[in-house]
């Protein structure tokens, strides 16, 4: 049986990925590369929607690639590349912009949230067309699955709509992909505000666990995490969002079931539990941070890996672009 194709992307908007990225998406990326034909990209063009110093963007793009490898993405198994190294992404995005409705793009909740936060004057057009570039990222590789967190469900839905519309109008060029979202891990919450998604662009990093944080910083963030009334360590997302979030994190990284963690901590206090969660997290993240630093110390090698990835990605992407151009009548 031929392998299924998988594609996903992550923005290099910050120095470090966070625990939400790791559990909601990146851990699946690593697992999926074993039995599938996987394409993973650092979406540096998407990151341009946020104003960033050029040197910093350069550094963060390399840091993102290093973190992906440190997490376990094996460049021999997966095609790991940088979005801007494959020009077909922009080329196909323009075609898709011309078959996407203005109203349809206006309904994207991420656009609405981000543009509301920044106000009309500070919102760039790139933020508006962002999901259409994402559709091109995805459809160029004809994937079956797109592993992402819950916040990306709507973008993958738009991608499917665009693919179906294109195929209907111009003949079948694109495979219709499916979002792969692991329900229990799709929304890891902020430790200071356990009803809000852990996010790179949170106003304070006190509740955001970064992969590259020191163990001391991680421990401190867990110790000061906001918990709920009562004393019991019990999973109840409505009444105990803080404890439930910590239980989800512990379970995802220790491999123990939520129930068995609840029994382990029966009769114990929140303090003991918070320290135990921190310990599990540190044991998982510390080696990743170390490996990232090692990879960053040999940038030439990192760049070489990304060049090989870009070559492989370009081959697949240019084939699809050629079919799409030909279908719409471009000579």
The DSSP-derived string for 73-99 is --TTTSEEEEGGG-THHHHHHHHHHTT
Contacted entry of ligand LTN, ligand ATP, none for residue 246, CB cut-off 5 to 8 Å set by kind: none
Q: How many residues appear in the chain?
A: 331
118 HSE (CA, 13 A, CB side):
18
Q: Is 114 a catalytic residue?
A: yes
Q: Is 77 a catalytic residue?
A: no
Which of 27, 46, 160, 274 lies at the binding interface for ligand LTN (CB under 6 A)? 46
30 contacts ligand ATP (rule: CB under 6 A):
no
212 contacts ligand ATP (rule: CB under 6 A):
no
Which of 160, 200, 240, 250 lies at the binding interface for ligand ATP (CB under 6 A)? 200
61 contacts ligand ATP (rule: CB under 6 A):
no
User: Starting at the edge strand that comes first in sequence, how are the strands of the sheet with 5-10 ordered?
Assistant: 79-82, 37-42, 5-10, 145-147, 178-180
281 contacts ligand ATP (rule: CB under 6 A):
no
List the one residue out of 83, 131, 79 whose CA is nearest residue 107: 131
Which of 23, 26, 43, 310 lies at the binding interface for ligand LTN (CB under 6 A)? 43
User: In angstroms, what is the minimal distance from the CB of 92 to ligand ATP?
Assistant: 21
Alpha helix segments (H runs only) across 192-269: 215-223, 241-254, 258-264
Binding span for ligand ATP by CB under 6 A among 21-29, 93-101, 241-249, 286-294: 21-29
Binding span for ligand LTN by CB under 6 A among 111-119, 131-139, 221-229, 317-325: 131-139
Q: Report the site for ligand ATP in 144-183 (rule: CB under 6 A).
A: 148-149, 151-152
Nearest residue to ligand LTN, by Cβ distance, number only = 9
Long-range contacts of the stretch 237-242 (C-beta < 8 A, 24+): 241/189, 241/194, 241/195, 242/191, 242/194
**Positive or negative torsion for Cα 58, 62, 68, 71:** negative
List CB contacts of 182: < 8 A, sequence separation 6 or more: 24, 28
d(CA 143, CA 166): 16
Q: Is 197 a catalytic residue?
A: yes
Q: Report the site for ligand LTN in 187-206 (rule: CB under 6 A).
A: none
List the one residue out of 18, 81, 8, 11 whose CA is nearest residue 43: 11
- Nearest to ligand ATP of 112, 172 (CB atom): 112
- Nearest to ligand LTN of 38, 277 (CB atom): 38
197 contacts ligand ATP (rule: CB under 6 A):
yes
d(CA 256, CA 68): 25
- Nearest to ligand ATP of 37, 151 (CB atom): 151
List CB contacts of 147: < 8 A, sequence separation 6 or more: 6, 8, 25, 28, 29, 32, 180, 181
User: In angstroms, what is the minimal distance from the CB of 237 to ligand LTN?
Assistant: 23
137 contacts ligand LTN (rule: CB under 6 A):
yes
- Nearest to ligand ATP of 184, 293 (CB atom): 184
| In 93-230, beta strands by DSSP E | 145-147, 178-180
- Nearest to ligand ATP of 95, 209 (CB atom): 209
146 contacts ligand LTN (rule: CB under 6 A):
yes
List CB contacts of 169: < 8 A, sequence separation 6 or more: 99
List the one residue out of 201, 241, 203, 239 whose CA is nearest residue 225: 241
User: In angstroms, what is the minimal distance from the CB of 22 to ligand ATP?
Assistant: 8
Which residues carry out catalysis? Answer: 114, 197, 200
Residues that bind ligand LTN (CB under 6 A): 7-11, 43, 46, 134, 137-138, 146, 148, 152, 155
């Amino acid at each position: 049986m031929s392998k299924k194709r998988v594609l996903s992307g992550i923005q290099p908007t910050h120095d470090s990925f966070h625990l939400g990225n790791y559990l909601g998406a990146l851990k699946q990326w690593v697992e999926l590369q074993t039995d599938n034909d996987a394409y993973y990209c650092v979406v540096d063009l998407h990151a341009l929607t946020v104003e960033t110093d050029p040197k910093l963007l350069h550094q963060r793009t390399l840091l993102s690639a290093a973190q992906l490898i440190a997490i376990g993405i094996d460049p021999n198994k997966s095609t790991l590349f940088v979005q801007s190294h494959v020009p077909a992404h922009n080329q196909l995005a323009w075609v898709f912009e011309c078959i996407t409705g203005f109203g349809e793009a206006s309904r994207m909740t991420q656009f609405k949230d981000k543009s509301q936060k920044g106000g009309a004057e500070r919102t760039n057009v790139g933020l508006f067309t962002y999901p259409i570039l994402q559709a091109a990222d995805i459809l160029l590789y004809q994937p079956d699955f797109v592993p992402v967190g819950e916040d990306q469900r709507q973008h993958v839905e738009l991608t499917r709509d665009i693919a179906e519309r294109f195929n209907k109008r111009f003949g079948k060029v694109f495979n219709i992909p499916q979002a792969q979202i692991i329900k229990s891990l799709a929304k890891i919450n902020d430790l200071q505000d356990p009803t809000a998604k852990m996010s790179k662009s949170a106003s304070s990093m006190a509740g955001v666990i970064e992969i590259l944080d020191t163990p001391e910083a991680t421990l401190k963030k867990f110790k000061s995490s906001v918990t709920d009334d009562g004393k019991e360590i019990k999973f109840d997302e409505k009444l105990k969002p803080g404890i439930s979030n910590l239980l989800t994190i512990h379970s995802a990284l220790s491999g123990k079931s939520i129930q068995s963690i609840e029994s382990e901590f029966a009769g114990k206090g929140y303090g003991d539990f918070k320290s135990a969660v921190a310990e599990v997290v540190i044991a998982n993240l510390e080696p990743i941070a170390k490996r990232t630093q090692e990879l960053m110390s040999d940038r030439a090698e990192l760049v070489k890996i990304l060049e090989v990835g870009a070559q492989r990605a370009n081959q697949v992407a240019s084939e699809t672009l050629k079919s799409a151009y030909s279908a719409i009548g471009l000579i």
